[in-house]
Structure 1
């Protein structure tokens, strides 16, 4: 009887204090891809469970290079500082559509594939974005010539070109296999930062209807090609309201997670503007996530060169607050950027000014790194 009343009490407290998406760990969770592999479904369920415990920490290109090093086996700037790897690894497949050997940041696709396999073997999770070229002009993703997206839709003059690009992406996704020959689940973030106007698929460069059509076509075509190891992540940049965030949303049957990207700028030295903005946006997507039963995430974030020695615990942690996000991914540690004559990195490395604070951040119960999730995801 005592156990029964205890169970009722816990259920009541959780039901009142948290949204369903924070605690929904049952086996009825379903992905938008109804033919998703068992491994992909399992990862999705574990992500729901982990969101109740804390948020996963991620880092772009973490295993490929860092500040003053490149392609050193087993190395990671995060591991150099903490002795542990990130829980989430970010990658980008721009260049794949052209048949390039290396991606937009110079990472060979062969190495990227190996890093994804290595991370998966340790329990790590990989997420992939795609800064693909403008199909209408042949220029890069930042060529925001209006109406370019319209040309990839069925009946559009670049539709065949786009399907050929998707064929190459499908082949890459299907080549990602673990030691048992199973396809490795990937968090796929296509058409990212869609509320910004700097990409050819962004705001002002296509209509919401065109964007939704492009998303749905991409979603359905990849499945038609046999790709069933993707968790689809809808991703924006800044937004001001629920309506703004959902303007281009393709529908609950076409997305599994909702997210946004956010960066602190140099004109915000105290970080207060960053904290306020992130809190505002997390409040909005937290409500959307609860209504739609979708996980939420900050898919890109950072403060270039992390000049604040207490940024991790005094700014980033305050920005996230008590919101139950699935993960946050910090952008890449490129190092010296010759064209702009400056250092370009977003995570600490040995000797960096915020290293000690990052270790304090790492030691918190709510920050989940690879060692924290290894048992959960096996």
Structure 2
């Protein structure tokens, strides 16, 4: 990568080996000891130079800037469907707030029900009711000052019954993704799904009529093959084409300017080269993400070290490109048959997210972490009544952790 990247990379032999960038370094290069300048590249005046959408709303511009700055000192903590998914169906406040007394800093939502074929926009329709619930939650979260992010578990275009390849025939798996590309048999179908997303995102407004910014991560966990957009069913170029079309259509054709776009594989990538192998380009990505459950699934220190190294790699790419880095999904689900891991939050996960700063630039600069949703029978985030509640509360109170109470104003640029 670039020389400025090497200013960071030399500081850790582990990272230098991980990113394997020695070919960029001349034989007689001296070790550079001046502080890296990446953070100084971003100013309130030039922020749109590093964003996908140069016409983004001022609140969306502020969100990009503030997420990038936040990552230098804090990690915003959030959960998928936090306002509606509770362990043991205990309603009311989010399970995070039940435990800590504070709202999460990030709310995760999904476009799946919103774009479902059964959503007929009628008041008595269950899917439309879910749409209204989701959009109401997004507005509530924004009013509180929280960050909103959306995934999209889009059902395959043939029968629209599932997004998992396990439920598809071999022929369906081989052709589904190709069919939504420009010129494909289901391209118009895909455009109609994007039309629905555009209509919903443009309806998300705050108290003063301003559009609410969201982070959108289409086609996530694409390095695996459990989804029909996964690596076994799309070439790298096909994936890039679909991602680029999605962004261009929403931004240019539909005029949606309140989205930050996230590139979000699972945890299989451990080098910049592999991580960027399906990257659609800097003009199409605002957030560099990674989902990682596997390394933290009771793998002990080995898993913690793997996850930590991958986030260092991710952070350095984001620093080099002046993008936002995030742990876009993670968690360890506790159920009646799966016990909590001792100090999983306060020790294991916090170690993954943290590292000692060097020259005031942390080697890990992750802006937010999102836990998956709780259910009646299991939880990723403990409420106040379970055995590992104190572990999460300790994690949330640590210096680098940020719930809503320690989140700065995310939708205003600093003066």
Q: Is the shorter-chain TM-score for this pair beyond 0.5, marking a shared fold?
A: yes
Kindly provide the CA deviation profile for residues 331-359 of structure 1, in whole angstroms up to 9, marking residues without a partner as x. Answer: 111121xxxxxxx2200112212111212
Instruction: Classify 1:192/1:179 alpha carbon distance in 2 versus 1 (closer, same or farther; 3 Å).
Output: same
186-195 vs 107-116, greater mean Cα deviation = 107-116
**Is 1:257 matched up with 2:287?**
yes
SS at 2:139 equivalent? helix
Equivalent-residue separation in structure 1 for 2:404 and 2:278 (angstroms): 33
Give the whole-Å Cα distance in 2 for the aligned partners of 1:22 and 1:283.
20
CA distance in 1, matches of 2:376, 2:385: 14
Between the aligned partners of 2:246 and 2:82, the Cα distance in structure 1 is 27
Does 1 or 2 have the higher relative contact order (CA < 8 Å, sep 6+)? 2
Provide the secondary structure at the position in 2 that maps to 1:96: coil
Could you say which residue in structure 2 is the equivalent of 1:200? 228
2:114 corresponds in structure 1 to: 96
For residue 357 of structure 1, the aligned residue among 386, 391, 409 is: 391
In structure 1, what is the Cα distance between the partners aligned to 2:209 and 2:285?
26
User: How many Å apart are 1:39 and its aligned residue?
Assistant: 1.0
Matching of residues 120-159 of structure 1 within 5 Å: 120-143=142-165, 145-159=173-187
Alignment-derived partner of residue 10 in structure 1: none
Partner in structure 2 of residue 188 of structure 1? 216
How many residues get paired? 352
Residue 335 of structure 1: aligned partner: 376
TM-score scaled by length of structure 2: 0.80
What residue is the counterpart of 2:26 in the other structure?
Answer: none
Q: Partner of 2:66 in structure 1?
A: 46
Listed as ranges, the gaps of 5+ residues in structure 1 are 1-14, 337-343
Q: How many angstroms apart in 2 are the aligned matches of 1:19 and 1:369? A: 29
Pairing 1:15-164 to 2, within 5 Å after superposition = 16-17=34-35, 20-21=38-39, 24-30=42-48, 31-69=51-89, 72=92, 75-97=93-115, 98-100=117-119, 108-143=130-165, 145-164=173-192
TM-score (norm 1): 0.88
Counterpart position of 2:345: 312
From 359, 366, 372, the equivalent of 1:325 is: 366
**Which digits, 9 at most, give the CA deviation of each residue in 1:314-340, with x for residues without a partner?**
11011122211010001111121xxxx
Select the structure that is richer in strand. Answer: 1
The offset of 1:279, in angstroms, is 1.4
**Aligned pair 1:293/2:322, yes or no?**
yes
Segments ≥4 residues shifted beyond 2 Å: 15-19, 21-27, 68-72, 99-103, 136-139, 268-271, 374-378
Is contact 1:263-1:274 (8 Å) kept?
Answer: no
* Distance across 2 between alignment mates of 1:109 and 1:28: 36
* In 2, Cα distance between equivalents of 1:295 and 1:115: 24
1:273 alignment partner in structure 2:
302
- Native 8 Å contact 2:68 2:323 kept in 1: no
